Amino acid sequence: MLEGIIVKGVGGLYTIDTAEGTVTARPRGIFRKKEISLSPLVGDKVSVSMIERDNNAGVIEKIHERKTLLMRPKVANVTQAVIVFACKEPDLHLDLLDRFIIQSEAAAVNSIIVFNKIDLLSGKDREKTEGIRNIYEKAGYKTVLLSTYKDVGIDKLEAVLDGETTVLAGPSGAGKSSIFNMLCNEKLMETGELSMKIRRGKHTTRHSQLVKLGTDSYLVDSPGFSSLTFNGIDADILKNLFLEFKGLSSECRFANCNHIDEPDCMVKQGVAQGIISETRYKRYLNFYEELRGGQ
């Protein structure tokens, strides 16, 4: 049997990248009757038996164990998420950015933050964006300043994609499809114009697919979202999803400290000393209360 990676799935028919080229295959009926955790997904490593070699057609016999699983979008074995946010048009929404980061961290997927459309910035706006970028860099996240319009920063983004399976995430209008097109050097996805009336991007990506960028590098493009809820995340694990807390939390008096009102909390001291961003910490408190309210 051949082994490969599912790069596209539409209507129950899957395109699989193998060492012998591209194969199209349908799964055995048993997969179609099982829950999502056992159904084929883009990004899955699978074993395929060939039934029509002349037509490169086969049957998916086995889905290998997944390292990671994203549910929105539904993609398996992603190693990192490039979270794309526009600096302007639409304006940068930090609450939403942190929601994307938390979802990524909860799925054990590393986050890289791309601040797109820097060509629209000048003066104080540029200084503000640099300040925000510094907060996330200091917290432990890789960041890239990008302009697809002026072709700035694309080389730095390509460097962080090498050897990884990367999903593009972020709200509508942030420029994900334009970035995808630039990285792939061809228009595999339609790029929608920003609505002048509501200043938000139209949903242009109809399905998730995985594109091979190099020997071990794949890129997923996925639909944009304007909001995220914390489905499946417990309030008491939220603290583990903020990278800047990790180095200090081990020094708290209580091993299960949630960094809210506990005494001798090193995270709160870090905020007071400017080691941790106060604005990020306030969003943590808001998210914690949001999660507690749902329990």
Using CA atoms of 227, 233, 238, 243 in order, give the dihedral in degrees to the nearest 10: -70
228 within some domain: no
Neighbouring CB atoms inside 10 A of 149's CB total 13
- Residue 202 has a pLDDT of 42
Residue 99: burial class (beta carbons within 10 Å; 0-12, 13-18, 19+)? buried
Q: Shortest CA distance to 141 belongs to which of 224, 85, 185, 57?
A: 85
Burial profile 67-85: b = 16 or more Cβ within 10 angstroms, e = fewer = ebbbeebebbbbbbbbbbb
Residues whose CB falls within 8 Å of the CB of residue 133, separated by 6 or more in sequence, listed in order: 113, 115, 143, 145
In the predicted structure, residue 285 carries a pLDDT above the cut 70: yes
pLDDT band at 55 (very low <50, low <70, confident <90, very high): confident
CA 258, CA 252: separation in Å to the nearest integer? Answer: 10
62 and 104 in a single domain? The answer is no
230 within some domain: no
174 and 281 in a single domain? The answer is no
pLDDT, tens only, 143-199: 999 998 898 999 999 999 999 999 888 888 898 888 988 888 754 544 444 333 333
pLDDT band at 201 (very low <50, low <70, confident <90, very high): very low
In the predicted structure, residue 244 carries a pLDDT above the cut 90: yes
Domain end position, chosen among 221, 248, 268? 221
Ranges 42-46, 82-86, 169-173: which has the least confidence: 169-173
| Termini Cα distance of the chain | 47
Domain carrying residue 283: 235-293
12 and 149 in a single domain? The answer is no
Count up the domains in the chain and report the number: 3
Q: Shortest CA distance to 8 belongs to which of 221, 186, 168?
A: 221
Ranges 54-58, 205-209, 255-259: which has the least confidence: 205-209
pLDDT band at 200 (very low <50, low <70, confident <90, very high): very low
